[in-house]
């Protein structure tokens, strides 16, 4: 995996609640993973400021993105550092839909990048 660019202020403010999202009460302590699908998910989340659930499933190669997100949260990110924002859109049939958008907070991103750096140096992980 290549090291992603640091998030810009524009990326951090992509969603209105992202600016008011306070994850400082619960520090991110990502414990790592060896699961190839989870590693693909992390790589994708690090490369994009936000990821719609459908794109997440397609890019990562899974059929149940919410379950994969749940597992990543259990590795130490929690909902505080890997939130899901629900947006309201009109689908092709004119109906209101509320798809989920996943994104890493700055603290969550930092925790994953620190773990990846340790992993690259042969540090303990998993």
- Contacts of residue 41, defined as CB under 8 A and 6 or more positions apart, other chains included, come to 56, 60, 62, 68, 69, 72
Structural domains of the chain in order of their starting residue, each with its CATH number: 28-118 (1.10.10.10)
Mean pLDDT of 53-58: 95
- For the full predicted model, state whether its pTM sits above 0.85: no
As a whole number of angstroms, the distance between CA 94 and CA 76 comes to 39
76: pLDDT strictly greater than 90: yes
Mean pLDDT of the chain, nearest integer? 84
Q: By percentage, how much of the chain surpasses pLDDT 70?
A: 76
Of 18 and 73, the structure prediction assigns the larger pLDDT to 73
Examine the pLDDT at 59 and tell me if it is beyond 80. Answer: yes
């Amino acid at each position: 995996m290549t090291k992603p660019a640091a998030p810009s202020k524009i990326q951090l403010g992509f969603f209105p609640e992202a600016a008011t999202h306070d994850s400082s009460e619960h520090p991110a302590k990502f414990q790592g993973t060896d699961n190839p699908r989870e590693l693909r998910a992390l790589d994708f989340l690090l490369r994009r400021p936000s990821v719609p659930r459908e794109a997440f499933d397609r890019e990562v190669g899974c059929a149940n993105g919410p379950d994969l997100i749940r597992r990543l949260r259990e590795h130490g990110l929690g909902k505080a550092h890997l939130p899901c924002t629900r947006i309201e859109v009109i689908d092709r049939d004119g109906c209101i839909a509320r798809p989920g958008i996943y994104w890493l907070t700055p603290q969550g991103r930092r925790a994953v990048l620190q773990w990846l750096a340790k992993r690259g140096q042969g540090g303990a992980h998993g």
